Amino acid sequence: MAALYRKYRPQSFEEVVGQEAVVRTLSNAIGTDAVRQAYLFAGPRGTGKTSMARILAKCLNCAQGPTTTPDGTCHACRAIAAGTSLDVIELDAAPPRGIDDIREIRDRVVLQPVEGRYKVYILDEAHQLTDAAWNALLKLIEEPPPHLVFVFCTTDLSKVLPTVRSRCQTFVFRRPRLQELVAKLRRVADAEGIDVPDQALALVARGGRGAYRDAESTLDQLASATGNEITVQSVLELLGTVEEETLFRICDLVIDRDTAGALIYLEELAQRGHDLGRLVLDLIEHLRQIMLAQHLGDVPEAAATSEEARERLKAQASQLEEATVLRLVDLLAVAVDDMRQGGDPRLPLELALVKVTRPASDLSRESIAFRLERLEQGQVSSGSVQVPDTQTGPASPAAAAEAPHPEPEPVPVPVGAPPSLELSQLQEAWMRTVLPAVEERGGIPTASLLREAHPADLSGDTLTLEFPPSASFHLDMARDAKNAGLLSDALYDVTGRRLELVFELGEAREAPAADEEPAGEEDFVARFTETFDARERES
């Protein structure tokens, strides 16, 4: 029994789904006798390039043709559909084909068609041809015999030589919309007597990633595994696909800033055997749809499979801040990089959810920028101030009796409070974030002398930095206005707060190792001259 993707391969232009522009152009060319000698079909795998090439061959060689509606019953049509036509030659270029293979083609194309009007060569994976093979074909493509038509199919248009592309009519096949793929799967399922709900078909279509062949093969596999009774759970078990409800729930937990709930839910998913790597990828795609809805003002047509899902996407797009969506996508990209290197995505996924639901726990510069952006938008719950609407509220009877007053001045909205900051957070970020920020501002020597210091106290907006007793020289250098200014600016970049700095000598905390003594004045000068290629000036 034939596989479903072969059994339901389109046999005419009317059966093609999602490639309206290609169908329209080819139909017009056939109808006006303007068929070209070479076509180049490019696009992702499973989007119907080879099927379209066979339909074109049918249109040209049908007993009723050339026609845009081949009858499918004549000998030529049946032979082309079965792959046994002597006038339609399909070659696979995936095995490397060189100039010798092309010379063989050149020797055979001069022969007249056996029973049709045209000899059609369909070359699949054409980008695999060597440059020498393409060059051998150039003259034949440009000036072919009148009975010869080439159709080159490729998944990588950039690898086809520009000289070849200039001699071909190029058609770029697009991936189908989610609804188009679901509709095609529904027709196949109904024809095969497969009992499957629309929600399960949506999961199969999403797993197909825009490839008809992949989606139909998955439906075929599911039908065999379940005895033609496919459920949502069976799709999840076979594909590891993430249910749409799971993505909505995770985003709801992010909206609620429920860190504990998000971690517990991830644990539940892991216990149920969900593929967390697939969850990361599907969650990124879900956030992409939310981002598009935020910037376009509506949910894109291809983003949702049902009206209910569309409304939920709209709701989440209005509840999630744009900065939160962008920040979470950036954090999930780290999990994707780990997966590519063979790592477990669970920890990066958990860290991403913690950082986005509790941004104050992360003092990285990216997190601080994210928190400042939220503050600028006036959307931080702890710092925002609700201003009553003085113009739409109901007026009291006493106020109504009074004479009308001039329009009140607009009430200024207070800027959000500066981010909260604790000494322990600053101590943790000192070497990891603050000093690199000083270096980025061009203060490499300043960062070098500040490595001897540590944050000792934070009272309000006053930060006390302590130097070891043996580092008095570094203390004096740190008090210099230029160095102190660089540190102050770097602290503002990292914390979002303008801190007043106090420099002090502290008590000896621990005797340093022999090879880790604080650098003295001579060592500091040496380090400075090495960094900036400087020389001491003779006095």
Q: What pairs with residue 463 in β-bridges?
A: 458, 501
CA distance 428 to 270: 31
Average pLDDT over residues 374-397: 45
Q: For the chain, what's the residue count?
A: 539
* Percent residues over pLDDT 90 in the chain: 6
What is the residue extent of each domain of the chain? 4-172, 178-239, 244-370, 423-532
Which tops the pLDDT comparison, 195 or 416?
A: 195
**pLDDT tens across 336-358, in order?**
888 887 778 888 888 888 888 88
CA distance 351 to 426: 20
CA distance 282 to 73: 44
Does the pLDDT at position 242 exceed 90? no
Does the pLDDT at position 62 exceed 70? yes
Question: For 423-532, CATH number?
Answer: 3.30.300.180
CA distance 368 to 363: 6
Average pLDDT over residues 360-371: 59
Under CATH, to which class is 244-370 assigned? mainly alpha
Does the pLDDT at position 188 exceed 50? yes
Q: What pLDDT was estimated at residue 355?
A: 86
Q: Strands of 142-181 (E only): list them.
A: 148-154, 169-172
Long-range contacts of 284-293 (CB under 8 A, 24+ apart): 284/329, 284/332, 284/333, 284/336, 286/247, 286/248, 286/251, 287/251, 287/325, 287/328, 287/329, 287/332, 288/329, 289/313, 290/251, 290/316, 290/317, 290/320, 290/325, 291/322, 291/325, 291/326, 291/329, 293/317
Q: What pLDDT was estimated at residue 377?
A: 56
CA distance 228 to 221: 10
**pLDDT, mean over the chain:** 79
CA distance 147 to 118: 5
CA distance 490 to 431: 12
Nearest by Cα to 108 from 123, 80, 87, 129: 87
Q: What is the dihedral of CA 478, 480, 481, 487, to 10 degrees?
A: -10
Q: What pLDDT was estimated at residue 229?
A: 87
Q: What pairs with residue 149 in β-bridges?
A: 120
b/e string for 161-184 if b means 16 or more Cβ within 10 A?
A: eeebbebbebbebebbbbebbbbb
Which residues are within 8 A (CB) of 205 and not within 5 positions of it... i.e. 6 or more apart? 178, 181, 182, 185, 215, 305
Does the pLDDT at position 475 exceed 80? yes
CATH topology of domain 178-239: Helicase, Ruva Protein; domain 3 (1.10.8)
CA distance 318 to 133: 56
Does the pLDDT at position 430 exceed 80? yes
Q: What pLDDT was estimated at residue 404?
A: 47
**pLDDT tens across 4-54, in order?**
888 888 888 888 888 889 999 999 999 888 888 899 999 888 888 989 999
Q: Which two tokens stand for residue 151?
A: 């159709």
Q: How confident is the model at residue 228 (pLDDT cuts 50, 70, 90)?
A: confident
Question: Could you identify the residue written with the tokens 């499973």?
Answer: 46
CB 288 within 8 A of CB 357: no
Does the pLDDT at position 538 exceed 70? no
CA distance 279 to 214: 20
Rounded to 5 degrees, what are φ and ψ at 237? -70, -40
Does the pLDDT at position 299 exceed 80? no
Average pLDDT over residues 230-257: 83
Q: Among 266-275, 379-388, 429-438, which is the least confidently predicted range?
A: 379-388
CA distance 252 to 247: 9
Under CATH, to which class is 4-172 assigned? alpha beta
